[in-house]
Structure 1
Amino acid sequence: MESYSQIAWLIPLFPLVAFLVLMAFGRQWRELGPYVGIIATLASFILSLLVWIERLGDKADNYTWNALEWLKVGDVSIRMGFEINNLNALMLVIVSLVSLLVNVYSKGYMHGDDRITVFFGYVSLFTFAMLGVVISENLLELYIFWELVGLGSFLLIGFWYHKPEARAAAKKAFIMTRIGDLGLLIAILLLFWYIPSHSLDFTSIHNALSEQLIPDHIVTWVAILIFIGAIGKSGQFPLHTWLPDAMEGPTPISALIHAATMVAAGVYLVARTFDIFQASAVAMDVVAYVGAFTAILAATIGVAQNDIKRILAYSTVSQLGYMMLALGISSTITAGMFHLFTHAFFKALLFLGAGSIIHAVHTQNIHEMGGLAKKMKITTWTFAIGTLALSGIPPFSGFWSKDAILYEAYHGEHWGLFAIGLIAAFFTAFYMARLFFLVFLGKPRGTSEAHESPSVMTVPLVILAILALGAGFVQTPFNGWFGEWLTGTETAEHEGAGLVMIVSTIAGLLGIYLGYMMYLNNRISREIISGPAPWLHKLVQNKYYLDELYSAIIVKPLKALGSMLILFDEFIVDGIVRLSAAAVGGVGKVGSRVQNGQVQTYGLLTLLGLLILALALVGRRFI
């Protein structure tokens, strides 16, 4: 009897078929379109769940199929296939579950949109690409799906292409992630060159590293280049500025991209190639410090934003920084992947909750909301659970996974990184408290017509809220099941874990308390920072002017260079072409006048020819 792992190739196939069907028959299936997407994703989730349950058994063997020979050059054969292990079995469940809930939610949120079938088709394509990334058997195959994820994000972010902001955001996301993708491509080429067998499957890469077949400095460069690819997809500094702008897409897409799919791809890539990073201490430090800097940078920016989706977007950037920090300082992938696991649920919950709010009040500015707790009870309670989970308050899931990261920094005596993690946790709790108190408990402001969203939107919120509450218990200082199952290694005793838990909880509670005193109780002035230091508030509100800096040092010089090249092309290249064409045309005109069939013209030309010949002979004689 075949195992479920042997038919796991069907998991990405279901959404691919849905995409093809919706693109072929979408206009005729306007009412059925959403159901096609939902059913396909449901099939992927059920099979993913069966694969995951199958792998819960003791020491389940990895399954690899790579019998498809895609390309053969000489003795080098490039194969395609799929691989199932504990890491990607977990990712299959996360991606398919969140995608399923987003599809169900979108049926209500996108109701009435003229291009609703196109929307569900794009979502299916995006889901297919991400599931392909997860089960890819080698790096080249992963890269192909990786690029397809970029295409899907471009289509979804720019779905409302009639809005100039959406078009600009889609182009920005596509171009900035391509910068990172170039790093990943170069890393793949280096591995292909230095691995004697030229095999790019993960087993061959592991063996090459174990046998030290790749020079140490090349390993470092490969790891850093792979991380550059992850920086692009996961919105790490300095390629993070596309991710908040991606909020111009429909809100369900914000949840899909920011929770468990595109941005998680970078973290998954580092975890999938963790052998390479472990072989280079320099690369591990790069991952840790870039992640830590991104976490604190985005957390401070989130404090001063007023758009509910952008606050959550910068929160995503910050939490992804936490994940990278964990991967850079740990000997295993447990802490980083554990936070990815919990974050997928509570961040999807928060984005879909934000969509429910926007659906009700038709604004994204938190200062134009207020008092929604009385009118949107389900959204309020589920959003509160997501807020507490993100803020790292026990016993919600985000507390356990964030605590695991802080413990890794504490246990490894990375005191600077530990301090950054605590400060970022404080800011996270503060800006989420600010958001929650202003939107749900503050004074009503223009929300008189607000009402609860339909059940097709609230049911996914409830499911995600349950997961945001309970998912963290799979890995605690008292229960190391998640890490043991994921990595196959026993969890060591957590000395000092209690102290870390207390300190991290205090940081989160202080952030919430400060938010309460400033935005609900009003005992602390909201101008506590902007009053004495307005420049600092303006600096943070304008995202440290990084977009303006990039525009000044990259965009404008490139545009100037482009203008110069256009002038060169128009006056030099095109000028030569036009001159050549004019010369040929002139010769043709002269020839047409000469070859006119008149005898006297031919006689005159003959006489001129004889005269020229005679002059040439005379000149040659004297010379």
Structure 2
Amino acid sequence: MNALLLWLLPGLPLGAGGLLLLVRRWARPVAISVAALTLGLAVHAAVTRPAVAVRLLLGEGAAVDGLSAVMVVTVAAAGLAVLVFAAGEPLGARFHGLMLIFLGAMLVTVTAGDLVLLLMGWEVMGAMSYALIGYRWRDPGRVRSGAVAFLTTRAGDLGLYFAAGAALAGGGDLALGGLPGLPPGWRDLVAGGIVLAALGKSAQLPFSYWLSRAMDGPSPVSALLHSATMVAAGAYLLLRAQPLLAATGWAAALVTWTGAVTALLLGAVAVAQRELKQLLAASTCAQVGYMVCAAGA
């Protein structure tokens, strides 16, 4: 039963989102109902803490523990709130389908216990962000903004591929819990790749500008990216990998200083903004900077 719950938690929004892309009927009530059911599943998972072994390569599967229990509930609640708000906007079935797929990918990301599952959720989440930012594709400016956000985060995402390759080469264990036990040289390479990917996804310096361009998307998309989902994913990964960062002797300090500098500089940028969405973009980078700083410290 616990394994079924853990499969349903991301599977329900992923399946419903894919169905809405094909059927395109009753998009609003279906999306809200699925998000509400997902929230119920997330609360149940946070209480029961299920785990399932999914042997992809050398991984250990997915699980809901103390850290991910908080995240699954927060992600599902934010997704439901955004979809309820989006019901009042002139947005079609494609939008609601993409939002549900994004929500499912984020839930895969926060429950992943190894780099294989993490990469799956991480990449689908990035692709959906591109499609959602450029949702109004007839406007070339919005499409360019989606491309900037996608390519910038993709540049950081290469670090996650590098980390997975280094983990395989250094010991063959892709489980997140086993990374601190890698040989010192390989451990440093894995930590460097994870830090790069996390800073890119969380819009920390020097990647912060993509979040400003992401504001060209519909307001519900901006709300979803800025809440407990995409920009928080990097900080979550750093918290999940904190034993690895501490084991290297340098990665934790690098993360701490990067978060602190981002919080200070982007906080100053936010104060200087006169346009509300750009103020929110800069202040979000600054607030996530505190989270990144805490993960390193």
Please give the range of the TM-score, normalised by the shorter of the 2 chains: over 0.9
Q: 1:348-405 CA distances to partner (integer Å, 9 max, x unpaired)?
A: xxxxxxxxxxxxxxxxxxxxxxxxxxxxxxxxxxxxxxxxxxxxxxxxxxxxxxxxxx
Query: Could you tell me whether the CA contact under 8 Å between 2:46 and 2:73 is conserved in 1?
Result: yes
Per the alignment, do residues 303 and 203 of structure 1 end up closer, same or farther by CA in structure 2, a change over 3 Å counting? closer
**Do structure 1's residue 39 and structure 2's residue 40 form an aligned pair?**
no
Shift of 1:315: 0.4
Is the Cα–Cα contact under 8 Å of residues 130 and 261 in structure 1 kept in the other structure?
yes
Alignment partner of 1:21 is 2:19:
yes
Matched residue type, 1:142: L
Q: What does residue 81 of structure 1 align with?
A: 61
Residue 139 in structure 1 maps to residue 107 in structure 2: no
Q: Which position in structure 2 is the counterpart of 1:106?
A: 86
Q: CA deviation at 1:322?
A: 0.9
The correspondence for 2:44, drawn from 26, 46, 50, is 50
Aligned to 1:194: 170
Offset, 1:156: 0.5
Confirm or deny that 1:129 pairs with 2:105.
Answer: yes
* 2:61 alignment partner, SS class: strand
Q: Distance in 2 between matches of 1:297 and 1:311?
A: 13
Instruction: Name the amino acid aligned to 1:193.
Output: A
What is the CA–CA distance in structure 2 between the aligned matches of 1:146 and 1:52, rounded to whole Å?
21
List aligned pairs for 1:267-306, cutoff 5 A.
Answer: 267-306=235-274
Q: 2:275 aligns with which of 290, 295, 307?
A: 307
- Deviation track 1:283-314 (CA, whole Å, cap 9, x = no partner) reads 11100111111111111111221111110110
**CA offset at residue 118 of structure 1?**
0.7
| Structure 1 Cα separation of the partners of residues 218 and 177 of structure 2 | 40
Aligned to 1:545: none
- Whether contact under 8 Å (2:136, 2:142) holds in the other structure is yes
SS in 2 for 1:104: helix
Q: Normalising by structure 1, what TM-score? A: 0.46
Amino acid at match of 2:175: D
| Distance in 2 between residues matched to 1:46 and 1:95, nearest whole Å | 12
Secondary structure of 1:159 counterpart: coil
What is residue 11 of structure 1 aligned with on the other side?
A: 9
Match of 1:214 among 171, 180, 183: 183
Q: Which residue in 2 is equivalent to 1:429?
A: none
Question: In the aligned structure 2, how far is the partner of 1:180 from the partner of 1:120?
Answer: 27
Residues in 1 aligned to 2:295 and 2:289: alpha-carbon distance in whole angstroms? 10
Q: Deviations over 1:121-167 (max 9, x none)?
A: 11011111111111113112101210111001000010112222211
The whole-number CA distance in structure 2 between the counterparts of 1:295 and 1:79 is 34
- In 1, the alpha carbon distance for the partners of 2:183 and 2:95 equals 45
CA–CA distance in structure 2, aligned partners of residues 297 and 202 of structure 1? 32
Deviations 1:483-540 (A, max 9, x none): xxxxxxxxxxxxxxxxxxxxxxxxxxxxxxxxxxxxxxxxxxxxxxxxxxxxxxxxxx
- Which position in structure 2 is the counterpart of 1:169? 145
The match for 2:178 among 174, 181, 204 is 204
AA of the residue aligned to 2:237: L
Checking the alignment, whether the CA contact within 8 Å between 1:297 and 1:318 is kept in structure 2 is: yes
Report 1:391-470 matches (<5 A).
none
Q: How does 1:592-607 map to 2 (within 5 A)?
A: none
Contact 1:234 1:317 in 2 (8 A): yes
1:317 aligns with 2:285: yes
- Whichever residue aligns with residue 42 of structure 2, its letter is S
Q: Which amino acid aligns with 2:39?
A: F
Residue 16 (structure 1) shift: 1.1
- Residue-by-residue CA offset, 1:308-349 (whole Å, 9 max, x unaligned): 1110110000011111111122xxxxxxxxxxxxxxxxxxxx
Task: Report if the CA contact (8 A) 2:160-2:194 is conserved.
Answer: yes
Q: In 2, Cα distance between the equivalents of 1:43 and 1:313?
A: 30
* Residue segments in structure 2 that go unaligned for 5+ positions in a row: none
Among residues 130, 145, 150, which one is paired with 1:154 in the alignment? 130
**Distance in 1 between residues matched to 2:292 and 2:21, nearest whole Å:** 37
Larger Rg: 1
Q: Is the 8 A contact 2:187 2:248 kept in 1?
A: yes
Cα RMSD over matched residues? 1.6
Residue 250 of structure 2 aligns to a residue whose secondary structure is helix
Q: Is the 8 A contact 1:11 1:48 kept in 2?
A: yes
- 1:529-544 to structure 2, matched below 5 A, reads none
* 1:237 alignment counterpart: 205
Map of 2:51 onto structure 1 = 64
Q: Structure 2 CA distance, aligned partners of 1:52 and 1:291?
A: 28
User: Could you tell me whether the CA contact under 8 Å between 1:64 and 1:137 is conserved in 2?
Assistant: no
Offset of residue 6 of structure 1: 5.5
Classify 1:251/1:298 alpha carbon distance in 2 versus 1 (closer, same or farther; 3 Å): same
Distance, in Å, in 1 between the alignment partners of 2:107 and 2:156 is: 20
Q: Determine the C-alpha separation between the residues in 2 that align with 1:80 and 1:13.
A: 18
Indicate the structure with greater helix content. 2
d(CA) in 2 for partners of 1:173, 1:34: 27
Residue 281 of structure 1 and its aligned partner are, at CA, apart by: 2.4
